[in-house]
Amino acid sequence: MTPAVPDGRTAVPIWAELVPEGAARVRPLAGKMIADAVAAVREAVPAYRQPLTGKFREVLVGGVEMAVMQCFRFIEDPNASREEWLEVFRYAGRVEFLEGRTMDSLQTAVRVGARTVWRHIGRAGKDLGMSADALLTLAEAIFAYVDDICVVAVSGYTEAQAQASGSYERKRRQLLKLLLDRVTSPQQVSDLAAAVDWRLPDRVAVVVLEYRPDHLRLPPPSLGREVLVDLESTDPCLLLPDPPPAGRRSTGRSPTSNTPWSGAAPPSARSSRCRRPTAPARSPAAPWRCATAA
């Protein structure tokens, strides 16, 4: 089942309590609000202290503009279209991950910008004669709105994070298959190993596992980054440096090895066929632990 995408609707019932005409009277301050919010974010959040150009400018300035202008639209019509708003903040969350910034930086930036905007709107509201109760409701709506923005942006961030993680694991499985392919281009192997930060050893050992139709219900193994794992194919196996890195014991039994990796061919491989025991593994972190076949 596909998980529901957050739609950030917490503030909707509160927007409905506000007088729509107030938005039109405050809207002329939008440019000043946006500029001050951008400046406040860049001053308060170290990750945003960089030249305001390119993708960074697009996401920061574009995000603040969308937040402010959509705020006015929601005051005027709590049921205004949200599609562009959702798209902008999901995209902003994705970019934050891809640019290497953290979710904490993202959420802090949203809240700092919101405080700056609220100061402007609060002062304008008083000048326009808004009652204390109306200002309180407006403040409640804005900070619920901030929570909504954070929820949507974080969903974009975590989506990009999950996709990157999935891509990383796919590349590791692809590398394993290339290493087992006798006609693989050495350059392909080197490039893919570099992409997943896997140091090419002189030799590798292969542990062949028994196929389990129920493998998707088993918790994933925890074997360390140096072990390449493929449990999804009909010929599941592990591939690891031979000998293993210092401090780690080899998995299963390894027969003799062949010629070392010279840059003209992939590492030589030696294999050990293993069978998963019928009894449960001792450690839940290693459900694919296997005993060497006789």
Tokens read off for 193: 């190993």
Answer left, alpha or beta for residue 10, where phi above 0 means left and psi between -120 and 50 means alpha. alpha
Q: In this structure, how many other beta carbons lie within 10 angstroms of the beta carbon of residue 250?
A: 14
What is the structure's pLDDT at 213?
A: 64
What is the structure's pLDDT at 109?
A: 95
Bridge-based pairing state of the strands 291-292 and 237-241:
unpaired
Contacting residues for 70 by C-beta, under 8 A, at least 6 apart: 80, 85
H or E, element range at 198: none
Nearest residue to 49 via CA among 96, 41, 36, 91: 41
Contacting residues for 127 by C-beta, under 8 A, at least 6 apart: none
**Structural domains of the chain ordered from first start:** 12-168 (1.10.490), 199-292 (no CATH)
Residues 269 and 203 sit within 8 Å (Cβ to Cβ): yes
Nearest residue to 204 via CA among 159, 265, 145: 265
Unique residue bearing structure tokens 């000998």: 243
Alpha-carbon gap, residue 66 to 79, rounded angstroms: 16
What is the structure's pLDDT at 245?
A: 55
> What's the predicted TM-score (pTM) here?
0.61
| Amino acid identity, position 246 | A
Unique residue bearing structure tokens 């903040």: 89
Decide: helix, strand or coil at residue 21: helix
Low-confidence ranges of the chain (pLDDT < 50): 1-5, 248-294
pLDDT digits (tens, 9 = 90+) for 161-214: 888 888 888 888 889 988 887 666 788 888 888 888 898 888 888 888 877 666
Nearest residue to 228 via CA among 241, 245, 216, 215: 241
What is the structure's pLDDT at 87?
A: 92
What is the structure's pLDDT at 276?
A: 36
What is the structure's pLDDT at 7?
A: 63
Alpha-carbon gap, residue 189 to 74, rounded angstroms: 54
Decide: helix, strand or coil at residue 86: helix
How far apart, in Å, do the first and last CA atoms of the chain sit? Answer: 42
